Structure 1
C-alpha cells in the first residue's frame, strides 16, 4: 500500500468512476484499475462494487476511505514542510451547488487558474446533506453550504455571508403588481423548485405547508436555468438566490414578488473538523473567504 494507490482509490471513491478518475489523475484507465487491484490484494479486501453499471464503495472501502483521506492530508503536509517554497499543486475536490458554481465562483476560479496553475479545483455538484457527509468521510476537501444552521457535527464552517433570496414570477402574474404579498397568497400557486434536499426549497415548503390546508404542489425542475424558464413561461413561482435571477429581474423577464422571506440562509465554506489543513486546502480556504466574504459585504 503506497500513497499513489491511496490517492487513486480516493479519486475513484470521490468520482464514482474509474474512467473519470483516470482522466483527472492523467493516468491510463488500465493504470487506475491495476493500482486499485494491487491495493485490494495488499489489504485482502475488495474496495469497490459494481451495481447497475455504477461503481460504489464496498463495506471495506467505506471503512478505508476516511483513513485514506487522513493519510493523504499528512502526505501533503509533509511535502509542504519539506518544500515550504513550493507552489500548491494537486487536486482539491470541492462540494458545491449550482448557484455558487455559476454565480459566485467564476472570479475565484480565474484567480486560481492564474495564481496557482498547478492546483486543480474539481467542483462536484452536491446537495448540502451530501456535502456534509462527504466532508466527514474525507471524500471532499472542502464544500459550500447554503443553510439556516451554521453549526454542523464533525465539520468546521466559515460563514461567508447571508444569501439574499428572491421570490420570482412571470411579469404578468396576478401577484406581480401587489405592494405586499402574504404567505397565504402563495398557497394557491404552483411552486417550481430544485430537487428535494435543497435547503431553501425545504424551508419554503415548510412555510407553505403548515397544516392549514391542502399541500402546495411543488414541481421539481432539474436546474436553476430550467426553473427560470418555467417561471417565465407562467408555470408557477419560485424562490431562488437573488444572484441567480438578478439579470432576469433587471431585464424585466421575471418579476420579484413583494414577499418578505421569513428565514435567513447563510452561505458557508466548510471542511472536516479536527483535520490539519494541507498547504493546498489552506490556500483555498483563505482565498475563498477573502474573495467571497468581500463580495457578500458589497452586496
Structure 2
C-alpha cells in the first residue's frame, strides 16, 4: 500500500464518483479504477458497494476512510515539521488577531527581534479560524488569538485570561463608576464585533452573559473592533473589550472595569502539535519573562 492509494481512495470516497475523482486527481478513470481494485485486493475487503448510485462505501470502507484521512494529515504534518526544522533558525511566521496588538504582543515581538536578530520574523493578521488553517497548511508557525477551536493537529497554549472592560461614550452616565457588573449593563445597547466569521469574540461576550443567566435586550453587530469603538464614541451603545484597549487614548471613549470574575477573554498561542522547535520555545520564554516583569498572573506551560 502506498500513499497514492490513500489519496486515490479518499478522492473517490468524497466525490462518490470515479469520473469526478479522476478529474480531481488529473488522471484517467481506468487507471484510477485499477488502483482502487488493487487496494481492495491487498486489504482483502470491498471498500465500495458495487452498483450503488451514487457510489457508497461499505462499513469497512468508512472505517478505512476515516483513518486514511488522519494518516494523510499526519504525513503532511511530518513533511511540514521536517521542513520547518531545517529552516527554524532562519524565520518565524506569526499570525495575530487585531485585538492582541493592544496588549503585550507588540512588546513580545519587539523583544524577540532584539534577542534573535538573525531570525526573520513575519507578521500576518488573521482570524483564529484562519490561523488554524494556516498552521495546518504550513503557512505560519505561531498564531495568537482568543478562540479555542478544536483541531487535533493544532496545540493551544492559554497564555493568560485578560479581563474585559466596558467602553462607553465620554458623556455616558456610567463614566464615574469605579466598576460595573454585567447585570448593570444588561439593558444597554451592546455593540458586538466581529459580525463574521463566527464563532468569534462576539460569541465570547455573549457567553459571559449566558454564564450568569443574562440575555442582553439590545445587540448591535459590526464588522470589526475599530467600527465598534467608533459607534461607542458616537453614542450608539457600549462595548465589552479586552483590558488592553483601556491603555489607549480613544477620543470620546471611556473604559470602565467589569467586576465579574468570568468576564475575561483568553489569549491563546497556537502551534502545530508536533512543533517543538527552538524558536517557538524562545517565543514562549519571552512571553513569560514579560509576564514576570509586569507581575501578570499566568500558568506556565512548556512545549
Tell me the secondary structure at the aligned position of residue 176 of structure 1.
coil
Tell me the secondary structure at the aligned position of residue 249 of structure 2.
helix
Tell me the secondary structure at the aligned position of residue 291 of structure 1.
helix
Corresponding residue for 1:228?
Answer: 229
* Aligned-residue RMSD, C-alpha: 3.9
TM-score, normalised by the number of residues in structure 1: 0.60
- Structure 1, unmatched stretches of 5+, are 1-42, 46-62, 81-87
Tell me the secondary structure at the aligned position of residue 144 of structure 1.
strand
Determine which of 81, 89, 113 is the counterpart of 1:73: 81
Tell me the secondary structure at the aligned position of residue 139 of structure 1.
coil
CA distance in 2, matches of 1:79, 1:123: 17
Q: CA deviation at 1:291?
A: 3.2
Q: CA deviation at 1:154?
A: 3.3
Contact map agreement 2:209 2:216 (CA 8 A) in 1: no
Is the counterpart of residue 204 in structure 1 residue 212 in structure 2? no
Corresponding residue for 2:145?
Answer: 145
Corresponding residue for 2:270?
Answer: 270
**Aligned 1:43-192 pairs, distance under 5 A:** 70-78=78-86, 88-90=89-91, 92-147=92-147, 153-177=152-176, 181-192=180-191
Corresponding residue for 1:282?
Answer: 281
Is the counterpart of residue 254 in structure 1 residue 254 in structure 2? yes
CA distance in 2, matches of 1:291, 1:144: 16
Tell me the secondary structure at the aligned position of residue 277 of structure 1.
coil
TM-score, normalised by the number of residues in structure 2: 0.59
Corresponding residue for 1:8?
Answer: none
Post-superposition CA distance 1:229-261 (Å, at most 9, x none)? 331221210111111122338x98414165536
CA distance in 2, matches of 1:265, 1:212: 18
Q: Describe the shift of the 1:101–1:157 C-alpha distance in structure 2 as closer, same or farther (beyond 3 A).
A: same
CA distance in 2, matches of 1:213, 1:96: 30
Contact map agreement 1:89 1:280 (CA 8 A) in 2: no
Contact map agreement 1:166 1:242 (CA 8 A) in 2: yes
Q: Describe the shift of the 1:181–1:277 C-alpha distance in structure 2 as closer, same or farther (beyond 3 A).
A: closer
Q: Describe the shift of the 1:64–1:298 C-alpha distance in structure 2 as closer, same or farther (beyond 3 A).
A: closer
CA distance in 2, matches of 1:294, 1:150: 30
Q: CA deviation at 1:163?
A: 0.8
Tell me the secondary structure at the aligned position of residue 218 of structure 2.
coil
